[in-house]
Amino acid sequence: MNFFERQIEVKKSSRRLVVLFILAVLSIVVLANLLVVFLSLSGGAEPADIATFAIAATAITLVFIGGVSFFKTMMLRNGGGSQVARSLGAIPVPEDTTDPRMRRYRNVVEEIAIASSTPVPELFILPGEQGINAFAAGYTTADAAIAVTEGALERLNRDELQGVIAHEFAHVVNGDMRLNIRLIGVIAGLTALAVIGRVLLYSGGGRSSKNNNGAPIFIIGLIAISAGFIGVFFGRLIKAAVSRQRELLADASAVQFTRQTAGLAGALKKIGGLDAGSKMKNARTEDVSHMLFGEGMRFSSMYATHPPLVKRIKLLEPEFDERELQELQRRWKSAPPSGLREDQQMGLAAPNDLPPRPTQETPTGTPRQAPKPQPMAPSPGPRNAKEIVAGIGDPGAASYEYGEQVRRSIPESLADRAHHHEHVVPLVFGLLFSADENIRVAQHGIVLRTWGKTTADAAWFFAGEYTNLDPRLRLPLVEIGFPALRRRSKQELESIMATLSELIAADGNVSVFEYCLGTLIFTGLHESIHHRPKWSGKRHHLRGSAKEIATLLAVLAKVGHPQQGEAESAYQAGMNVVLPQSRIPFALPQQGILELESVWPSIDGLEGKEKQQLVEALVTVVMHDNVMSIEENELLRTVCAVLHCPVPPIV
């Protein structure tokens, strides 16, 4: 099952979730009505009154369950992944952390994000939780958050942490997060009656012995708690039904991400070998039990949201003997493992996992010494279109190694400032400063007018730092700064986008890099603010979007093939893949790359196989001459990001 097929499967799962929700609600309504009829008959009520009571019970039950589910879903959707994390008491990783465990955690996440071409999520820690666990939450990839327990940071070595984080990224990439948010809303509605019923049943009025004034409240509470327990029953069944298979798929994807099974299997073994296991103490653990890496609380096998631990290990290591867990339990009883110590012993620690050395800084908070050029990793190399498309959502070993090397090639003096919500703004502005002195002065004035002298001077300083920066590191640098950007207020984000637009237009010409940088930031910030795709709307089809597709392929062909004959040949090769019957001739884009602004609403409305065909056509165009330039790669990644298809690194 490839990326596009998994997207279709997630939508099917969402529809199944709706059906299961309706069936569960109907069951609750039937039980509530049976209780109303029974209690009414016991009290000697008239048939007409019983019918009225039943109708009222049905209406109240439907409105209450539906209202709670809708409210909970909207609350989580509007708050993004950070809302879910904070609701469990999670705290953000400090921007300037020197804790090697947290720096390692952040580096691992950024490496996997670069390898999978996925926006870097916000990072949280669940303090005080000694069990090994983690979860990913969010409504879109742009508002995603990943949280890990303190126990995971303490006990897992780098390879094991990579396995756990890669598992969570699989949920991010495959669209499981949105399904999980909806599932939380569904469960909240189904179980809310039990909570209300418990309050009413044990309220003072329900226990009054002096009069019968509390009897109606007691009866309503009895009906609510009885119906609510049915909701709890169905809620747990639905969670188990939806979650188990997706956890196995995420394990398989994690192995694909990290190119080996030992890390993920090692994390699972530590869960089985340590007393704390994967259990969490938080009172709201059950709300997110289906989202966790491991079982957060004990359930019977019928309600279990995860496959058995031994089964998960054996799928990774078929020769595994579960008696090994008993040996690990004995060994770790007196001397629990330390992840950082294992990193040192096994040679797993990365240089940038350690805290940076103190550096002399300018008044703007930027390092006085320019970073030295860093050696860039060899690229995975050009491949054929079908192989590249197959890697969407499932980057292989070469992509992951490339992601690691890209992250380690970014100078730490720049990376540390990309993590800081104050420094990241001038850092991004500086990427757009021109090499032309006159234009750069004008751009400095643009920033000065809106953001003040400190930010303008810092942007100028960073622009000088980028002289020695490999061009392939520019967009990854922005990507690791994206979580810090998201922490700004909505008003500030809108101001950032306005300033970026002015900087891009300052010289009267929009380069490919400028367009890609602007589009990636505008799209990501829009989704993080509004929690929905920027161009979301009705579904489109290839034939109905032929004009827009032709424009997109023509722009891409022109960027990678300066000669018109070569560009036309590349364009036609792409059209033969996506619209073989089309007779739309190649036409040079009149507005250059800005022509793309007209195509986004249509192409983002494509789904499944049609979107896959389009991506194959895009790759066919850029690979037509068997050479992919940095500009082609950046534009391809940008287009695929707009399409929500994370193409792995190619250059």
**Which residues are known catalytic residues?**
168
Name all contacts of 307-311 with Cβ < 8 Å and 24+ positions apart: 307/244, 307/247, 307/248, 309/268, 309/271, 309/272, 310/272
Q: How far apart are CA 429 and CA 435, in angstroms?
A: 13
Q: How far apart are CA 496 and CA 522, in angstroms?
A: 9
Alpha carbon of 104 to those of 159, 343, 425, 487: distances in Å?
A: 11, 10, 24, 21
Amino acid at 85: A
Alpha carbon of 584 to those of 179, 543, 571: distances in Å?
A: 39, 12, 10
User: Both tokens of residue 146?
Assistant: 């990943």
186 neighbors 235 (Cβ within 8 angstroms): yes
Rg (CA), the chain: 28
CA-nearest of 545, 567, 547 to 557 is 567
Which burial class, exposed, middle or buried, applies to 85 when counting CB atoms under 10 A from its CB (0-12, 13-18, 19+)? buried
Q: How far apart are CA 402 and CA 450, in angstroms?
A: 38
Amino acid at 91: I
Alpha carbon of 5 to those of 174, 337, 393, 577: distances in Å?
A: 10, 40, 11, 19
String of DSSP letters for 486-535:
HTS-HHHHHHHHHHHHHHHHTTS---HHHHHHHHHHHHHHHHHHHSS-TT
CA-nearest of 59, 5, 2 to 29 is 59
CA-nearest of 639, 638, 637 to 647 is 637
Instruction: Assign 136 to helix, strand or coil.
Output: strand
399 neighbors 380 (Cβ within 8 angstroms): yes
According to DSSP, residue 506 is labeled T
String of DSSP letters for 421-489:
TTTHHHHHHHHT--SSHHHHHHHHHHHHHHH-HHHHHHHHHHHHHGGGS-GGGHHHHHHHHHHHHHTS-
With tokens 């058995």, the residue in question is 308
- Per the document, the length of the chain is 651
